Structure 1
């Protein structure tokens, strides 16, 4: 669902991803740009968009459960008093301008606005697609969030409000649940340089692309749905002071077929800066 034609990323003369940069979405989904579909070089789709049980899951996006009380994840907000609750607090990530747009790299400026239209964050986002070999390519996704409000902005996850294991918020990839999945390691709630997931003829290797991202914990869900994220605020708020910023980078190997542990590790070593 897009208001404008998506930007297309290509590798080896193949369309591997489409980026909806001005999506036409209901307010309750916390509208934001997203990548979908993302494909392997062989054509397998490795993202899912607005599935029935979690319509606010939008392919690959930056989604944060709470920024200063605003919901930039979509759907219900987890509250300490009542658990998940529908609140009129869904924010919107708005495209401001392109800084670069080609079939291998995108860079844009965005604004994170509350439901009332107040700007909280200014973002610079870069997305690049590059080949690795005949069966794999890499999606390099980096973002910088800067506080443009005149106050501290606390970033929180549902886990901070008491929902065990729900430390999500940040880079998030919703994958299709087409069959049994296999994880390289149990990294849910832990920091790790990389992790991989294999399912239905494809493998994704998620690599923490810089030191700050390597310090974050992974959110991994394989029951009910398949999702992987790098969490900004797992068990304590991350507070951005006025004018302060944070940067995160995740590089994802998108591969056809299964990968051995050694091959996945080799990809990860190649991509870490």
Structure 2
């Protein structure tokens, strides 16, 4: 359990028992506001491989670390026996307000990547706290790897893969907006410094905290289901030579109630100390 002060705000499952087609991986769920409202969903009926907050990639040199079907050029979504899993290796640091974890990304007995994941919790104000999520993915093998997505494999607009947050479905779709755009169609695929998803009960403010993360487009769903991710391979594959590391950091403000654009911008500016409205 992770705490913001004396309040429990998130549970981290580091060794989940999941079916192979769900690409087993560590995840955060439930994640709660300071007021106790749950802002994550686990294994929803519409996408059983959506796991709260996780790091999930649909294509690492042909291995599916996202779960579900694989988009194959010329065939569409296809059931393949290509699922990988993320295996917990150890805790370099572990505390009430965060941890650092070593994780092996592997398929069968072959390790493709080694990840160093750092998660930290801190207060922002009386109604908002921040989840700071950093991932360092290293190609520890001797062959070049590449990160892809359904979009790089032929499905336009489906460039998902990376940090992904699945909120629960509400009575109506949430609002989504950035500093300069509003609505799912306008913000989907945008490399905005920050993005907010808001309902009457809660608001999530996502901010990229490194130059590379801020260049990554946001993958956004609102009408069909709520979901926000930072995309590693939006429309072109991301090469990862042996020994190289890809680092990304997303800091998310978790607030009670609905924030407007001005309030979300103020939260975003506080999340990293670098983001401006």
Flag whether TM exceeds 0.5 (same fold).
yes
Aligned to 1:94: 87
The 1-side partners of 2:266 and 2:251 are apart by 14
**Normalising by structure 1, what TM-score?**
0.95
1:29 partnered with 2:22: yes
Q: Quote the Cα distance in structure 2 between the aligned partners of 1:159 and 1:88.
A: 20
**2:201 and 2:256 in contact (8 A); partners too:** yes
Contact 2:99 2:120 in 1 (8 A): yes
- How do residues 206-217 of structure 1 correspond to structure 2 at under 5 angstroms? 206-217=206-217
CA-based RMSD: 0.9
Give the Cα–Cα distance (whole angstroms) in 2 for the partners of residues 34 and 120 of structure 1. 20
Structure 2 counterpart SS, 1:159:
coil
The reply on whether 1:233 has 2:224 as its aligned counterpart is no
Q: Number of residues paired by the alignment?
A: 265
Decide whether the 8 Å contact of 1:155 with 1:238 is kept in 2.
yes
Q: 1:5 aligns to what?
A: none
Aligned with 2:166: secondary structure?
A: strand
Q: Which runs of 5+ in 1 are unaligned?
A: 1-7
Task: Name the SS for the 1:175 alignment partner.
Answer: coil
1:160 is paired with a residue whose SS is coil
Q: Deviations over 1:53-98 (max 9, x none)?
A: 1000000000001001000000110000211111110000010000
2:269 counterpart of 1:269: yes
Any gaps of 5 or more consecutive residues in structure 2?
A: none
Distance 1:88 1:258 in 2: 42
Contact 1:179 1:200 in 2 (8 A): no
Q: 2:61 aligns with which of 68, 85, 92?
A: 68
Name the stretch that deviates more: 184-193 or 123-132.
Answer: 184-193
Deviation at 1:223, TM superposition (A): 2.2
The equivalences for 1:90-169 within 5 A come to 90-114=83-107, 116-169=108-161
TM-score by length of 2: 0.94
Report the CA distance shift for 1:200/1:262 in structure 2 as closer, same or farther (over 3 A): closer
Q: CA deviation at 1:200?
A: 4.0
- Which 10-residue stretch deviates more, 220-229 or 175-184? 175-184
Deviates more, 1:31-40 or 1:173-182: 173-182
- Supply the distance in 2 between the matched residues of 1:40 and 1:48 (Cα, whole angstroms): 14
Deviation, structure 1 residue 103 = 0.7
Partner of 1:15: 8
